[in-house]
Amino acid sequence: MDTEVVIIGGGPSGLLLSQLLNRNGIATVILERSSRAHVLSRIRAGIIEWGAVETFREAGAGARMDREGIPHNGCVLSHDALAVRIDFEELTGRKVMVYGQTEITADLYAAQDAIGTPIFHDVDDVVIEDVLTSRPAVSFTVDGERRRLECAFVAGCDGFHGVSRQVIPAEKRREFERIYPFGWLGLLAHTPPVHEELIYAGSERGFALASMRSQTLSRYYIQVPLADRPDDWSDAAFWEELKRRLPAAAAQQLVTGPSIEKSIAPLRSFVSEPLRYGRLFLVGDAAHIVPPTGAKGLNLAVSDVFYLAEALVPALKHQASAGIDGYSARALARIWNAMRFSWQMTLMLHRFDGEDSFAAAMRKATFMHLQRSETARRDLAENYIGLPY
């Protein structure tokens, strides 16, 4: 055997899984299709659940997050002139951390480098073999050379467009999907955030989100039609549209500036069941996608990794297979809850083209319900801060 676990994908899922396994004395090799610079240039998630914060600490990759991350005790939801604050701390006794996925990924690469885990970048033609036997293998091309690694288990951490999920025969897989008719145009700028907490703004012009990475770095999103391209939106047009969607008091405070990055992400809900096929396990975006409205994508990847590490360690150390037998069902229970929450948040906050007056009225009624009912706010807060693992 060349290594114990071959991990396909060097995004947050693959790196965190490797880190947790290595710290339990298990050998891993990571295969990543892109360069490290490319992986680190992707601007994605920004909100980390406390359970995930604790998992990063446990993995020995939480020190910079604890220094530089910003704990948030609440967030604001608005609907035109109506606004409601969701006080996480008061409603649940918990909070979330504002810390970018880019930073987490950089911290995990640093931690993996310190351990000395082999990470192959720019690999091509990854082929997963023999996962129904006790000795699977992964073949790949790197630097023009074909290589093959035999192992005990394969972890498919290769995102939505990866190869791992496709190894499971179609008749053994069940897929669930909802594609939404809009995307989010995101903009990053060196400006102070418009508000000290995140604002999720529903409006008759569509959704907007005011988020941040630090006291001097803001991240904003606006809902745009699926056909739009980032180049269709000048910085000035973006800022103008954002102002029209944010609550008036916030819009007046908005500091604009040149964008550092602008990109569009389509919104999708997707689950592929089960997460295990023989000795192959799917983790994170390889198995499921949520619309970003509930800030759950990265956090679900972390809970998958947590469950899988907890299953693989006894399987490799003591030949105890109960954990790996239960991995898929355990992870899916948490995944489906986050699917439901992200879908509900998406429906509540976005304008759907061609929707009727009833749909718009229901969105408004949902807001009024949140304003009126502490029970409704607690339900939202419990899901937003993340269910226990």
φ, ψ of residue 3 in degrees (nearest 5): -160, 170
Q: Which residue, 159 or 292, is less far from ligand PHB as judged by CB?
A: 292
Binding mask 116-155 for ligand RFL (x = CB under 6 A): -------x--x-----------------------------
- Catalytic (active site) residue 314: no
Q: Contact between 46 and ligand PHB (CB under 6 A)?
A: yes
Grouping H, G, I as helix, E, B as strand and the rest as coil, residue 2 is coil
**Which of ligand PHB, ligand RFL, none does residue 107 bind to, with CB < 5 to 8 Å depending on kind?**
none
Answer yes or no whether residue 342 interacts with ligand PHB by CB under 6 A. Answer: no
Query: Which residue of 9, 62, 69, 183 would you call a contact of ligand RFL, by CB under 6 A?
Result: 9
DSSP class per residue in 307-322? HHHHHHHHHHHH---H
Q: Which of 296, 274, 289, 304 is nearest to 7 (CA)?
A: 304
In this structure, what token pair is assigned to residue 331? 């992870």
Q: How far is CA 112 from the centre of its chain?
A: 20
Residues 202-231 that bind ligand PHB (CB under 6 A): 211, 219
Q: What are the distances in angstroms from CA 330 to CA 167, 190, 274, 318, 389?
A: 21, 41, 11, 21, 9
Which lies closer to ligand RFL via its Cβ, residue 214 or residue 371? Answer: 214
Residue 295 or 370: the one with the smaller Cβ distance to ligand RFL is 295
Distance CA 349, CA 83 (A): 12
Q: Is 262 a catalytic residue?
A: no
Determine if 217 is a binding residue for ligand RFL (CB under 6 A).
no
Among 30, 45, 283, 316, binds ligand PHB (CB under 6 A): 45
Confirm whether 220 is a catalytic residue: no
CB of 200 to ligand PHB, least distance (A): 7
Number of Cβ within a 10 Å radius of residue 175: 10
Rule CB under 6 A: say whether 193 interacts with ligand PHB. no
**Considering the complex, what minimum distance in angstroms separates the CB of residue 198 from ligand PHB?**
6
Which is nearer to ligand RFL, 249 or 260 (by Cβ)?
A: 260
**Contact pattern for ligand RFL over residues 16 through 55, marking x by CB under 6 A:** ---------------xxxx----x----xxx---------
Minimum Å gap between C-beta 181 and ligand RFL is 17
142/16 Cα distance (integer angstroms): 23
Identified binder of ligand RFL from the candidate list 40, 70, 142, 163, rule CB under 6 A: 163
**Residues 6 or more apart whose Cβ sits within 8 Å of residue 294:** 338, 341, 342, 345, 346, 383, 384
DSSP string, 60-84: T--HHHHHH-EEESEEEEEETTEEE
Contacting ligand PHB (CB under 6 A), which of 12, 69, 202, 292? Answer: 292
Nearest to 275 by CA among 316, 340, 343, 326: 326
Give the 3-state secondary structure of residue 32.
Answer: coil
Kindly indicate which of the ranges 3-11, 50-58, 75-83, 198-206 contains the residues binding ligand RFL, using the contact rule CB under 6 A: 3-11
Q: In the annotation, is 200 catalytic?
A: yes
Strands 47-49 and 96-98: antiparallel
Contact residues toward ligand PHB (CB under 6 A) are 45-47, 198, 211, 219, 292-293, 295
Residues marked as catalytic = 72, 200, 292, 296, 384
